[in-house]
């Protein structure tokens, strides 16, 4: 533990913020506030941003390893820290160093994860001044997916993604993630979506009523819309299936596609092939995190 120039103790911690995939994403309808009603099975996966937080001073500052990520109040993690301090009445300042390993604009929830993980850890560091319900409300106010990352556990998300029911028994599936070098406008995809579902087709009860099988839920209503604009997504899906994936799907509004594999060895072989085949794409082997990831702390 070091000391600031004023002589006050400087405390630091590190936390890992995992990515997510949507094993299931259905769009039920559009609400009066303009948001879309969703039902989605969200799974955390083992690709992480790293947050190095140094407590000291009276202001919030942030630096990021990725040149395209804002480092001011446009950054979701910065806003999470600022809102937490105000809600908790906590005057502690901090400097956040954000190391981005989750691709930006990938449909993997990187920004939401940074904010949710930071909120959970700040509350712990500050001695839990916010009750769980208050922390969840704060996370929801920052973004639909932020509350999911307070715990980063498999969950069925409803509403605009903020109503969560935890799902148990999800295997640690080996995955290959491929993000082609395109940028998807989530707003544009939702605007082009034709709503046809009368109600959610999946429930916690349905998931728990039979042995777990990802084939029963592998669907994304946004995929067909995104593929029209970016056919490479369909090409990657087919390529993954041709190379032994048990299933493949676009995550979120894309463009990242994940392939589910029977074992890690096969997934790593496909990762190597993918790096040769999709040379301009981001490629990563990982697995589903069936248990919540715990942050690593240092002082």
| pLDDT tens string 177-215 | 999 999 998 778 877 877 665 555 666 555 555 555 666
pLDDT at 179: 99
Residue 297 — very low, low, confident or very high, per pLDDT cuts 50/70/90?
A: very low
Q: How confident is the model at residue 67 (pLDDT cuts 50, 70, 90)?
A: very high
Task: Check if the beta carbon of residue 15 is closer than 8 Å to that of residue 117.
Answer: yes
Evaluate the omega torsion of the peptide bond into residue 255 and state whether it is cis, within 30 degrees of 0: yes
**Per-residue pLDDT, 1:** 40
pLDDT at position 25 over 60: yes
pLDDT value for 159 = 85
Write down the mean pLDDT value for the chain: 88
Beta strands 36-55 and 60-64: pairing type?
unpaired
- What secondary structure letter does DSSP report for 102? S
DSSP state of 288: B
- At residue 198, the pLDDT reads 56
Residue entry with tokens 């593929």? 227
Cα dist from 70 to 48, 52, 78, 84, 236, whole Å: 18, 17, 9, 19, 30
Token pair belonging to 177: 């993630």
Domains of the chain, with CATH numbers?
Answer: 2-166 (3.30.230.10), 174-287 (3.30.70.890)
Bridge-based pairing state of the strands 247-250 and 257-260? antiparallel
φ and ψ at 84, to 5 degrees?
-60, -45
Indicate if the pLDDT at residue 271 is higher than 50.
Answer: yes
Token output for 256: 């990242």
Catalytic residues: 20, 145
């Amino acid at each position: 533990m070091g000391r600031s120039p004023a002589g006050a103790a400087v405390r630091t911690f590190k936390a890992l913020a995992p990515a997510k995939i949507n094993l299931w994403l259905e769009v039920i309808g559009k609400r009066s506030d303009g948001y879309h009603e969703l039902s989605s099975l969200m799974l955390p996966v083992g690709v992480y941003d790293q947050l190095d937080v140094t407590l000291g001073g009276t202001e919030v500052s942030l630096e990021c390893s990725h040149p395209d990520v804002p480092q001011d109040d446009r950054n979701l993690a910065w806003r999470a820290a600022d809102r937490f301090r105000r809600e908790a009445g906590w005057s502690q300042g901090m400097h956040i160093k954000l190391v981005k390993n989750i691709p930006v604009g990938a449909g993997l929830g990187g920004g939401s994860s940074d904010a949710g993980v930071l909120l959970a850890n700040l509350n712990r560091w500050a001695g839990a001044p916010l009750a769980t319900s208050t922390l969840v409300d704060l996370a929801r106010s920052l973004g639909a997916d932020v509350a999911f990352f307070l715990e980063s556990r498999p969950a069925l998300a409803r509403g605009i993604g903020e109503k969560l029911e935890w799902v148990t028994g999800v295997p640690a599936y080996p995955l290959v993630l491929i993000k082609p070098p395109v940028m998807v406008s989530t707003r544009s995809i939702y605007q082009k979506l034709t709503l046809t579902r009368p109600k959610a087709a999946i429930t916690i009860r349905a998931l728990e009523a039979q042995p777990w099988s990802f084939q029963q839920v592998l669907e994304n209503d946004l995929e067909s819309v995104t593929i029209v604009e970016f056919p490479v997504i369909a090409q990657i899906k087919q390529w993954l299936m041709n190379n032994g994936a048990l299933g493949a799907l676009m995550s979120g509004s894309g463009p990242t596609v994940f392939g589910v594999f029977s074992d890690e060895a096969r997934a790593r072989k496909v990762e190597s092939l993918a790096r040769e085949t999709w040379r301009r794409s981001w490629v990563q082997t990982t697995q589903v995190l069936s248990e919540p990831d715990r942050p690593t702390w240092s002082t």
